Chains A and B, each alone.
Chain A
Amino acid sequence: DIQMTQSPASLSASLGETVTIECRASEDIYNGLAWYQQKPGKSPQLLIYNANSLHTGVPSRFSGSGSGTQYSLKINSLQSEDVASYFCQQYYDYPYTFGAGTKLELK
């Protein structure tokens, strides 16, 4: 199975700041990567697919990049509603695997 290593595990940032979350795959996943946002008590919500495509309705301050084994999610101009946990997922090869998550808090 492909292992997904996500960092950092937690992150504290101020409103208006730019934050970056990283995800590394144990092998090339050819951009088969999605990012999800999850708020407490809710189901995960899709943000990014194909490593860099923004899902419908997701604010443009979210962006994804990367290739091969290294990927990142960037949030520009952090808003209070962005406080959540974020997960990466590879869907290049079954079983699809998730990163351990990043908990984003306000400083």
Chain B
Amino acid sequence: EVQLQQSGPELQRPGASVKLSCKASGYTFTEYYMYWVKQRPKQGLELIGRIDPEDGSTDYVEKFKNKATLTADTSSNTAYMQLSSLTSEDTATYFCARAYSIYILEIWFAYWGQGTLVTVSS
């Protein structure tokens, strides 16, 4: 069974950085991209980017290029996302997600983590 277990809620001050984790199990970690999605309170979903755990290559959505840094540790099957220079605009729930398959026409998000709430407040 595919599972994505995310780290717990975070309360951070403006200007700080935070690193979120997403531990994968039930499949071969290096075979699938890991995606990260942002959801602001009572708002829609925004893709942040993706990482290929096999080689660490990343693709960021333009607006998140200077905000998020995606990494992956294949020894622990864990993907990470670091958010820097936090502001109130970064207050959101962040999800990791995995596509259904590795094939380009089957990239719907079949598996989601439970989400990590990041609150930025002074």
Across the interface, which residues of B come within 8 angstroms of A43, CB to CB? 95, 112-115
Interface size on B, residues (CB 8 A): 22
B27 within 8 A of A: no
Given contacts A43-B115, A44-B112, contact A96 B47 (CB under 8 A): yes
Distance of A34 Cα from B107 Cα, bound (Å):
9
B45 touches A94 (CB 8 A): no
B105 touches A32 (CB 8 A): yes
Across the interface, which residues of A come within 8 angstroms of B115, CB to CB? 43
Cβ-closest chain B residue relative to A48: B108
B107 touches A91 (CB 8 A): yes
Cβ-closest chain B residue relative to A44: B112
A-B contacts, CB under 8 A, total: 52
Across the interface, which residues of B come within 8 angstroms of A94, CB to CB? 59
Size class of the contact patch on chain A:
20 to 34
A7–chain B nearest beta-carbon distance, Å: 13
A interface list, Cβ under 8 A from B: 1, 32, 34, 36, 42-46, 49-50, 55, 87, 89, 91, 94-101
User: DSSP class of A's interface residues: helix, strand, loop or mixed?
Assistant: loop
B interface list, Cβ under 8 A from A: 35, 43-47, 49, 59, 61, 95, 99-100, 105-110, 112-115
Across the interface, which residues of B come within 8 angstroms of A98, CB to CB? 44-47
Jot down 30 A-B pairs with beta carbons below 8 A, ordered by A.
Answer: A1-B61, A32-B107, A34-B108, A36-B109, A43-B113, A43-B115, A44-B45, A44-B95, A44-B109, A44-B112, A46-B108, A46-B109, A49-B100, A49-B106, A50-B108, A55-B110, A89-B108, A89-B109, A91-B108, A95-B47, A95-B49, A95-B59, A95-B61, A96-B35, A96-B47, A96-B107, A97-B47, A98-B45, A98-B47, A100-B44
